[in-house]
Amino acid sequence: MPLPIALPRTLTAALSLTLFLTTATTAAELTPEQHAVALVAQMTREEKIAQAMNAAPAIPRLGIPAYDWWSEGLHGIARNGYATVFPQAIGLAASWNTDLLRQVGTVTATEARAKFNLAGGPGKDHTRYAGLTLWSPNINIFRDPRWGRGMETYGEDPYLTSQLAVSFIRGLQGDAPDHPRTIATPKHFAVHSGPESGRHGFDVDVSAYDLEDTYTPAFRAAIVDGHAGSVMCAYNALHGTPVCAADWLLNGRLRGDWGFNGFVVSDCDAIEDMTRFHFFRPDNASASATTLQSGTDLNCGNAYRDLNQALARGDVDAAVLDRALIRLFTARERLGTLHPREHDPYAGIGTKDIDTPGHRALALQAAVQSLVLLKNTGNILPLTPGTTLAVLGPNADALTALEANYQGTSSAPVTPLLGLRSRFGTHHVHYAPGASLAPGVPSTIPDTALRSNGQPGLKGEYFDTLDLSGTPRLVRQDRLIAFNWDHVAPTKDMNPHRYAVRWTGELLPPGPGSYTLAVHVARCFDCSGHDTVRLSIDDRPVITNNVKDAQAAAGTHDTDSDRLEATLHFDDSQPHQIQLEMEHRGEDQGVRLEWLPPAEPQLAEAERAVAQADVTVAFVGLSPDVEGEELHVDIPGFSGGDRTTIDLPTTQERLLHHVKATGKPLIVVLMSGSAVALNWAQQHADAILAAWYPGQSGGTAIAQALAGDVNPGGRLPVTFYRSTQDLPPYVSYAMTGRTYRYFKGQSLYPFGYGLSYTQFAYEALRLSTASLKAGDTLAVSTRVRNTGTRSGDEVVQVYLESPQHPESPIRSLVGFQRVTLRPGESRLLSFALDARRLSSVAPTGQRRVAAGRYRLFVGGGQPGSGAPGEVATFSVTGHLLLPK
């Protein structure tokens, strides 16, 4: 029967639908947008306002289920239980593999669908993190290595970012526009990359040239080529206007120039920030009216509650709210969240499709492809069979250095230590952390310092009861107390919302001195209720999350942070009884038992490990505990989530000096989300491997690479500078002196750099013409050959040097392909450089193909970096302006 609806006369779309419905149309015959118009027409004003915020409530009378638009999928599904955890985005970027990014996006979307269906599926209420609108990828340009969130991006180059983003978005959304797997949300539109400490109120003053040349190309590609279904607008202002209120950017550039027809969501509380930090509007009502009018359809936060006031006083027209709601419900209809569908291709996705063997294999493949070999003196790598290793460093056995941020929960994470023990044999691996991550930063107590029943680790007793009474449901030996239990239970037979654990055993300090012990309870920032923890040493309570109970324990303090600490002094290295209890009753996400030992005993322990080994492998770098999103960190080298220096922390630098002085070969594995100035290591270490934050299988991938089971083939997606002094002021968004395109100094490792266990050569570079008209496509081909004795991957890179003006980049990446070649094998590769790839930006900000002489380099890296390759030149006649 015809669908009974009362349509608002203010909407042209509604009037058209009225005519459509009078011809006896059924609900099943409506397009997604027509169905959205029909639903919105039946809502009250209050209902509409509630639906324009991320936690949209149900409207039972209209059959609309509740839906929270907020879900995360940066490198796998996050914050919703077990999922496949891929390398952090910067590691995926180091693969330079668009096909891999599409596969990762597909798996992420599949697991999102599985969790959506397990939560009830279409027509049922869905809470936060269980939806199908994924707020990723982050495609901001990593313009400065000090930015803490740069790890979430695809690096510093607009073209590389564009191509990887389009592939990831296509994986997330699939090939059916009217019924996508999920909806991707590239963020943070359009110019956003720190500082974290001022992100809620800073105003970016960027030239029209830099905006078009650097900051918007990836977003344009995500919309025009990737057809992303939504976009997130950023916290910051651009030229004095908060981005979420920038009509020229959202309605003009995004919807007008690029033809975007999806919805725009604000970053969380960005609209409230307009009154609190930008002082752009006097109250939330006027801020909400401006953002809604300017094209921000969905408010992550609660500012839109005041739209009633704005509508009443005429700050915004009701038709503008309807427009936003129609966009939102068109998306929900396309996703199939509102009601079950016949022949739903995603209906059968469920538990069997989460963390599958195939998904785990892809996570390992991604980790392997992210590895970048930076140095290999005397071909010390790969290691020979039977080599005995001293495994050192604060990241050797750190779960956080696998997961990064915006992470899911891996069912079986493999740290580097575990990977090396598995690959080389436990008896060939001697482990000692050797140093803390940075001054004042605790790390997980290693398994060498915990003992129970003569075995490394502590005895864990897991209870269904919060008072730890009765018989434990599970008793096991836990090697480390470092668990990510976000939305999961310690074992599948337990209630993930209510359990308790007691760990007991011995603590073995490496030597006398002052020790800071810490219990780190990972708290979700917007959850209610927190877990209770109690730590005792030699039957003496030293940590509790109740301040009054803790006052009797010297050195104990309690704050609102994730970490509770106590300082103790041990006179020797004798064992001490340790007991940790945890009662889980809230929504906290896991627990880590940490310490900050004195430096000298740690170094002595590391030297003993080195003395027993043939080679030292030191896992150094950074951690999501010190670089990330708006962190409460203020220590030397780090502030608010950002870095104040790009040097390796002094604690780790000292460790490298000490172990190299033993005379044993030193292999450095860098685990970080950003570039680190490894000057001393470059001069003195025998090999260096960049592993980023490599995901659940990172330890296996690293072990395979060191053993030669796989050949590292990743390339740097960022420039590694020699010094912080090489960088312009962090707060400046001008690109002069930034990234490989504008930095004129000598880098430590250039963008696109990476070594291999084999060698490659290039030949027969050909262009389709030596002269073309502006607007024509240039065909380029080259042959690359593996001239070494091992199979390996080469990343063929195409760089263009355009006719220069004072602001022109030195060169720009315009093409790349990753290819696997056997020894002696060659491959003919082709590139089609269309007008946009051959274009450059005029000082006024207009993109065009300019007349003049061009230089093209095709090879294994940038020209002048030592990478093999060939050069060709060509000319362009005429002049062609390109669309924004």
Catalytic (active-site) positions: 267, 627
Sheet (strand 840-841) strand order: 840-841, 847-849, 880-881
> Residue 453: left (phi > 0), alpha (psi -120 to 50), or beta?
left
Beta bridge pairs of residue 461: 475, 502
**734 DSSP 8-state letter:** -
Between the alpha carbon of residue 872 and those of residues 160, 195, 668, 752, the distances in Å are 22, 41, 38, 19
Q: Is 536 strand, coil or helix?
A: strand
What is the b/e burial string over 58-72, where b = at least 16 CB atoms within 10 angstroms of the residue's CB?
ebeeeebbebbbbbb
Answer whether the bond into residue 137 is a cis peptide, omega within 30°. Answer: yes
Q: Is 407 strand, coil or helix?
A: coil
Q: Is 362 strand, coil or helix?
A: helix
Tokens encoding 471: 């018989």
Tokens encoding 455: 């075995």
Four-point Cα dihedral 86, 92, 95, 100, nearest 10 = 60
Integer Rg of the chain from CA: 28
Whole-angstrom distance, CA of residue 696 vs CA of residue 691: 13
Answer whether the bond into residue 188 is a cis peptide, omega within 30°. Answer: yes
Concatenate the DSSP letters of all residues of 610-639 into one string: HHT-SEEEEEEE--TTTSSSS---EETTEE
Helices (H) and strands (E) in the chain, counts: 22, 42
Which amino acid makes up residue 777? T
What number of other Cβ atoms are within 10 A of residue 330's Cβ?
A: 23
Say if CB 641 and CB 148 are below 8 A apart. yes
Say if CB 296 and CB 265 are below 8 A apart. yes
Say if CB 264 and CB 308 are below 8 A apart. no
Whole-angstrom distance, CA of residue 617 vs CA of residue 619: 7
Whole-angstrom distance, CA of residue 273 vs CA of residue 235: 8
Tokens encoding 732: 């400046």
